[in-house]
């Protein structure tokens, strides 16, 4: 049986971030989830590090294009859910992917989950004052991370959003 969830971590020329973020991702992700590093045009190609496999683009095609360009490979592998994330996101919650899949399975209307979002959209199309996350903050080998309260308010559990940031987006996929 194919794995149900693929997590694609996109990185450009940030070896240290990729290594550290993949280390946390591996520690806190169940074996049922496949971890894929996407090298989006790094001058010096990235290694696989702690990922199950690597996809490399010779030139930087932008984050949104990666969503579309990886669909054929993911479809061929039979994934039912796909998460895209930046390499500066440190996922620290143990078995976070089980919680994510549980959310999809128990809400038939749910097709998109983000880790940073807002219940409003401002005049410029941004998150506005409703920005919410569960960011822990803290110091990492690659620098300091901000707490949820720096960007807005802290959330526990899930809630509806008008907009989510593409630093982490998980989708139910129907090919």
Tell me the three-class secondary structure of 84-102, residue by residue: EEECCCCCCCCCHHHHHHH
Least confident of 40-44, 125-129, 149-153: 125-129
45 lies in some domain: yes
Contact indicator for 10, 85 with CB cutoff of 8 Å: yes
Contact indicator for 175, 75 with CB cutoff of 8 Å: yes
Share of the chain above pLDDT 90, in %: 90
CATH number at residue 62: 3.90.550.10
Distance CA 67, CA 112 (A): 13
Which residues, at least 6 apart from 74, have a Cβ–Cβ distance to it below 8 Å? 6, 82, 173
98 lies in some domain: yes
Distance CA 59, CA 67 (A): 15
**Per-residue pLDDT averaged across 24-47, rounded?**
97
Q: How many domains does the chain contain in total?
A: 1
Distance CA 164, CA 127 (A): 8
135 lies in some domain: no
Say what the pTM is: 0.93
103 lies in some domain: yes
Quote the domain boundaries for residue 83: 5-115+163-172
52 lies in some domain: yes
């Amino acid at each position: 049986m194919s794995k149900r969830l693929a997590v694609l971590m996109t990185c450009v020329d940030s070896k240290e971030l990729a290594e550290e973020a993949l280390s946390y991702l591996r520690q806190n992700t169940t074996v049922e989830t496949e971890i894929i590093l996407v090298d989006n045009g790094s001058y010096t190609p990235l290694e696989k590090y702690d990922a199950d496999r690597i996809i490399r683009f010779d030139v930087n095609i932008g984050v949104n294009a990666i969503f579309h360009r990886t669909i054929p490979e993911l479809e061929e592998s039979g994934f039912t859910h796909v998460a895209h994330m930046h390499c500066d996101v440190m996922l620290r919650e143990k078995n976070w992917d089980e919680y994510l899949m549980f959310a999809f399975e128990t809400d038939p209307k749910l097709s998109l989950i983000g880790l940073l979002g807002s219940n409003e959209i401002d005049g410029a199309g941004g998150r506005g004052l409703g920005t919410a996350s569960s960011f822990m903050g803290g110091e990492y080998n690659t620098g300091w991370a901000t707490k949820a309260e720096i960007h807005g308010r802290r959330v526990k559990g899930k809630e509806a959003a008008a907009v989510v940031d593409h630093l982490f987006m998980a989708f139910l996929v129907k090919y």
